Structure 1
């Protein structure tokens, strides 16, 4: 991460630089020192994060952040301040400040806040990359795409959930991961849904409901016939054994709460089953 420090106290700058470098938080790409912070110059450095002192002469931290945002600077802004008045803090958030770090400077606080902001930035970049791939020029449909879809539909049908609303969403996720040659471990379920649907939360809910229905159906198959082909072949691949067993116990009336499916394991299992067909 490229980090710019807008601070008029040289001792504070020195402390922050030492923390950033010693903790491996990123690269300090510049600081304002005892001169007034220049928004245009800072934006030109293209920092990922700007640490800005709340009370600076000539141009205070809130005004700096506001001007950076007006210039289209995408940097995340962290305010350094001793001020705790709600009105002033509210002004800072309205201007575009993401987090606060209090003075006197504390290594643990600086590290935790900068790391949290860095994780947000990385997550947004990953999601942006997924969206770019999805909105790129239409790709030619490969001959095996329709075959893959039919096989995935067959698996969903064997689980008894092909008519569930979430079944189509599961298909979209599986086919997307196959097209991009991306393991499901590389991206979160929320990010996949954001990339594939204008209403990601609803899509994720549909997927989870369909998976829960699939687990209930498999558990019923196992209770009727423990050697059932679909139960034996799909059960341990799609669901953790202990969760599937809990669902079976719920149906037996031995417990009040059933098993819980893991979306990533289910999707990964679907892709494994696809290879076997």
Structure 2
């Protein structure tokens, strides 16, 4: 069983998500600080789920979703968005994301989304 790839340009955000996942028995296989790195790590690690921030330098989450879906149409991706990013969330869902969670994170919402996506 591979695990989850966490993508966020803020290290503390990655740590927060990782913490929630580990406490709930999920495995984290890698982290990436932007979309470019996320696409490379996806190819390398083949995670069974990606938790992806929307706004990041180099390559944003939406572009990264498109690239990952092009590599693996079955990819499971959950987007993280700040309040007020509805338009971007819709775009990400159209690009192939399964679900989204809103910052600040409620741990149970994160876990629900992860369980649902891994279904």
Same fold (TM over 0.5): yes
**Correspondence for 2:70:** 70
In 1, distance between residues paired with 2:106 and 2:53?
15
**Correspondence for 1:14:** 15
Check whether the contact 1:48–1:74 (CA below 8 A) recurs between aligned residues.
Answer: no
| Runs of 5+ consecutive residues of structure 2 not aligned to the other structure | none
**Correspondence for 1:111:** 111
Check whether the contact 1:9–1:34 (CA below 8 A) recurs between aligned residues.
Answer: no
In 1, distance between residues paired with 2:83 and 2:62?
12
In 2, distance between residues paired with 1:76 and 1:53?
14
Compute the TM-score of the two structures, normalised by the length of structure 1. 0.40
Compute the TM-score of the two structures, normalised by the length of structure 2. 0.88
Larger Rg: 1
In 2, distance between residues paired with 1:38 and 1:13?
13
Which structure carries more strand by proportion? 2
Q: Judging changes above 3 Å, is the alpha-carbon distance between structure 1 residues 36 and 3 closer, same or farther for their aligned structure 2 residues?
A: same
* Residues 137-184 of structure 1: per-residue CA shift (max 9 Å, x gap): xxxxxxxxxxxxxxxxxxxxxxxxxxxxxxxxxxxxxxxxxxxxxxxx
**Correspondence for 1:46:** 46
**Correspondence for 1:211:** none
Q: Judging changes above 3 Å, is the alpha-carbon distance between structure 1 residues 45 and 104 closer, same or farther for their aligned structure 2 residues?
A: same
Structure with the bigger RCO (C-alpha within 8 Å, sep 6+) is: 2
In 2, distance between residues paired with 1:43 and 1:83?
30
Given the alignment of the two structures, is residue 55 of structure 1 paired with residue 33 of structure 2, yes or no? no
Which structure carries more helix by proportion? 1
1:79 is paired with a residue of what secondary structure? Answer: strand
**Correspondence for 2:102:** 102
* Pairs within 5 Å for 1:103-252: 103-119=103-119
Check whether the contact 1:12–1:105 (CA below 8 A) recurs between aligned residues.
Answer: no
Q: Judging changes above 3 Å, is the alpha-carbon distance between structure 1 residues 110 and 38 closer, same or farther for their aligned structure 2 residues?
A: closer
Identify the range of structure 1 (44-53 vs 65-74) with the bigger mean alpha-carbon deviation.
65-74
User: Shift of residue 73 of structure 1?
Assistant: 5.5
Give the number of aligned pairs. Answer: 118
